[in-house]
Amino acid sequence: MKVPKYYRIKEAILELIADLPPGSTVPTERELAGRFDTSRTTVRQAIAELVVDGKLVRTQGSGTFVAQPKMMRVRPLSSFSQDLAMDGWRPGSVVLDISELVAEGELAERLRVPPGTPVQRVERLRTAFDEPIAHEVAHLPRVLPQLAEQLAEYGSLYRTLREECGTVVATAEDIVETVLADPVTADLLGVDTGLPMLRVYRTGWDADGNVVEWTVSDFRGDRFRFMSRQRLDWKDAPSAAEVGTAS
């Protein structure tokens, strides 16, 4: 089978850094091009994949370095902050926007409200160890005027819903796909445009089957893993799958 040259260089670099500790500097692109007798373009393609794989990080003007291993993990079943706190990672979030919004089209369908209903929008940057790891936009099917203050107090959105509204998310459905970081998201997360990310669409229901949340989250694909555990034998719950999800 034909293996592209950039891929052989990728493997060569992998071997080169195999024994180096995270944070070590990697030779410059220009030097690697010389060493492997190829062009800088080809070396850059190899390095680009290693960055996506979470093996290297690049900083313009500074250099290329061996990355921390990809070991972050989150259990999407429970709440974000709960999961990460359990693992001791100092989860946090930066509120980018809290606003009201009139639900139309897909959003209204997702939240199971009539088109024209005012709903709540919460846009946040999720962090762990103060490093941004996800961009998240949550939608709630009703407006909570004090949400900003309450969120600041409780920290977690799920906790706020429980304390202030008596709403408990009992069932959730996650749809996971890969997307590439657009320039805006990439800038927010401090990664390169085009980095593969994990996009999670989450629909949450309370115990009575009412939709209480619809959220889209983009997680850094280079730093993240996703975990979910489930019983295979259970009964059907309300489904979000009735709404078409073709993009």
Partner DNA sequence: AGAAGAGATTGGCATAGACCAATCGTGCGC
Partner DNA sequence: GCGCACGATTGGTCTATGCCAATCTCTTCT
Residue ranges in contact with a second copy by CB under 8 A: 1-4, 7, 49, 52-54, 69-71, 73, 77-78, 168-180, 182-184, 187, 193-194, 196-198, 221-222, 224-234, 237, 239, 241, 244-247
- Find where tokens 């091009």 sit: 33
Q: Using CB under 7 A as the criterion, which residues of the chain lie in contact with DNA when the complex forms?
A: 4-6, 26, 28-30, 37-42, 44, 58-64, 192-193
Q: Which is nearer to DNA, 23 or 118 (CB)?
A: 23
Tokens representing residue 106 in the block? 């897909």
What minimum distance in Å lies between the beta carbon of 51 and DNA?
8
Tokens representing residue 165 in the block? 């509204």
Q: Among DNA, a second copy, none, what binds residue 185 when CB lies within 5 to 8 Å by partner kind?
A: none
What minimum distance in Å lies between the beta carbon of 108 and a second copy?
21
Q: Which of 101, 138, 96 is nearest to 119 (CA)?
A: 101
Q: Among DNA, a second copy, none, what binds residue 29 when CB lies within 5 to 8 Å by partner kind?
A: DNA
Q: Which of 71, 94, 95, 65 is nearest to 84 (CA)?
A: 71
Tokens representing residue 61 in the block? 């003007």
Q: Among a second copy, DNA, none, what binds residue 162 when CB lies within 5 to 8 Å by partner kind?
A: none
- Alpha-carbon Rg of the chain, whole angstroms? 21
SS3 category, 29: helix
Tokens representing residue 130 in the block? 């103060």
Q: Among DNA, a second copy, none, what binds residue 18 when CB lies within 5 to 8 Å by partner kind?
A: none
Q: Which is nearer to DNA, 56 or 240 (CB)?
A: 56
SS3 category, 38: coil
Q: Which is nearer to a second copy, 52 or 113 (CB)?
A: 52
Q: Among a second copy, DNA, none, what binds residue 34 when CB lies within 5 to 8 Å by partner kind?
A: none
What minimum distance in Å lies between the beta carbon of 224 and a second copy?
7
What minimum distance in Å lies between the beta carbon of 3 and DNA?
8
Q: Which of 94, 90, 71 is nearest to 81 (CA)?
A: 90
Return the amino acid letter for 235.
K
What minimum distance in Å lies between the beta carbon of 236 and a second copy?
9
First-last CA distance in the chain: 34
Q: Among DNA, a second copy, none, what binds residue 95 when CB lies within 5 to 8 Å by partner kind?
A: none
Look up residue 236 and give its DSSP letter: -
